[in-house]
Amino acid sequence: MIQLYRTDNHPAQQNQFGVFPYAVVNIKHFTMEKVPYNLYINYEELSSLFNESQSRHENMVRCGVASIELTTALLGSFIKEGTDPDKISDLMRGLETQFKLLSEYTRSYPGGEYQERLSNNIENIKQLYPYCSDEVDTITRLYFKVAGKVKLGLGTQMNEIRAHFGLPRIIAGIGTPSRKHGYMGNADLKHLSKLEYYNGEDEIFMRVHQISEYWFNIAIRELEAIATAFSDEEVDAKEIDTHFKAAYEILMFLSDHIMILEHMVLSDYHPLRVALRGASGGQSQQAHEIFGVARKIYGQFMGQMKREGTSIVHVLENPKVEAEKLAIINNFSRLERSLKMFFFQHYNLSSGTIGSASFGSIGYDLVTLTNKFVQPMFKEIDDAKYDLTLKTNFQYGASAGSLIMKDETYNLDHAKYGIADDTTLINDVVRRYFDSISDLNMEEWVKLFATDGYIEDPVGSRPYIGHQQLSVFFKGVLRFFAELEMTIEEQITKKECTEVSWTAEAKTYNGKEIAFHGKEVFYIGAKGEIFAAEVYWGPAMIAEQL
Chain-centre distance for alpha carbon 428: 50
pLDDT score, position 30: 52
Q: Where are the alpha helices (DSSP H) in 179-284?
A: 186-191, 202-231, 237-257, 266-275
Over residues 488-512, the mean pLDDT reads 93
Q: How far apart are CA 289 and CA 247, in angstroms?
A: 13
Output the pTM of the full model: 0.83
Start-end of H helices in 232-311: 237-257, 266-275, 285-307
115 C-beta neighbours (distance < 10 Å), count: 7
Q: So what's the architecture of 399-545 in CATH?
A: Roll (3.10)
Region 269-280: mean pLDDT is: 85
Taking all residues of the chain, what is their mean pLDDT, rounded to a whole number? 86
Residues 6+ apart with CB under 8 A from 545: 512, 514, 515, 516
CB under 8 Å to 94, separation ≥6 — which residues?
Answer: 71, 253, 256, 257, 260
CA dist 4 → 205, 271, 284, 366, 416 (Å): 16, 22, 7, 11, 60
> Residue 184 pLDDT > 80, yes or no?
no
Q: Which residues contact 386 (CB under 8 A, 6 or more apart)?
A: none
527 has pLDDT over 70: yes
Q: H-helix or E-strand containing 176?
A: strand 176-177
Mean pLDDT of 498-507: 95
Query: 113 pLDDT band (50/70/90 cuts)?
Result: low
Give the pLDDT of residue 10.
34
SS3 32: coil
Work out the end-to-end distance of the chain between its first and last CA atoms, rounded to an integer number of angstroms.
46
Q: Is it the case that residue 447 has pLDDT exceeding 90? A: yes
Q: Name the most confidently modeled range: 248-252, 370-374, 384-388.
A: 248-252
Neighbours of 271 (CB within 10 A): 14
Q: Check residue 110 and give its pLDDT.
A: 65
pLDDT at position 19 is: 34
Nearest-10 Cα torsion for 287, 290, 292, 293: 160
> Is the pLDDT score of 503 beyond 90?
yes
Spacing of C-alpha 58 from chain mean position: 28
Convert the pLDDT of each residue in 82-98 to its tens digit: 868 899 999 999 999 99
CA pair distance 22, 224, nearest whole angstrom: 13
Structure confidence at residue 315 (pLDDT) = 94
pLDDT of residue 140: 97
- Supply the pLDDT for residue 166: 96
More confident residue, 142 or 182: 142
Q: What is the pLDDT of residues 308-322, one digit of tens each?
A: 999 999 999 999 999
Most confident of 53-57, 175-179, 397-401: 397-401
Q: What is the mean pLDDT of residues 327-344?
A: 93
State the average pLDDT over residues 461-490. 94
Is the per-residue pLDDT at 180 higher than 90?
no
Query: For residue 234, what pLDDT band results from cuts at 50, 70 and 90?
Result: confident
Q: How confident is the model at residue 116 (pLDDT cuts 50, 70, 90)?
A: confident
Segment holding 89, helix H or strand E: helix 85-105
With 70 as the cut, is the pLDDT of residue 14 above it? no
Residue 15 above 50 pLDDT? no
Q: What is 386-452 written as a DSSP string?
A: HHHHHHHHHHTGGGTTHHHHTT------GGGG-----HHHHHHHHHHHHHHHHTT-HHHHHHTEEEE
Rounded average pLDDT over 408-424:
88
Q: What Rg, from alpha-carbon coordinates, does the chain have?
A: 31
Is the pLDDT at 495 greater than 60, yes or no?
A: yes
Closest CA to 38 of 232, 257, 288, 236: 288
Read off the pLDDT of residues 375-402 as tens digits, 9 standing for 90 and up.
Answer: 888 899 998 888 888 888 888 888 898 8
Q: Which residues pair with 518 in a beta bridge?
A: 502
**pLDDT value for 343:** 83
Q: In the prediction, which pLDDT does 359 show?
A: 62
Tell me the pLDDT band of 20, cut-offs 50, 70 and 90: very low
Amino acid at position 399, single letter = S
Query: Averaged over 183-191, what is the pLDDT?
Result: 74
Q: Quickly state the pLDDT bin for 57 (edges 50, 70, 90).
A: confident
pLDDT at site 431: 97
User: Rounded CA gap, 195 and 62, in Å?
Assistant: 25
Burial class (CB within 10 angstroms; exposed 0-12, middle 13-18, buried 19+) of 139: buried
Q: Cα–Cα distances in Å, from 449 out to 182, 442, 491?
A: 71, 12, 19
> Where is average pLDDT lowest: 282-291, 451-460, 493-502?
282-291
Whether 450 shows a pLDDT value over 90: the answer reads yes
Residue (of 213, 204, 211) closest to 269 by Cα position:
204
Tally of residues, the chain: 546
Q: Where is average pLDDT lowest: 66-80, 148-162, 397-411?
A: 397-411
Pairwise CA distance, residues 335 & 377, whole Å: 10
What average pLDDT does the segment 525-532 reach? 95
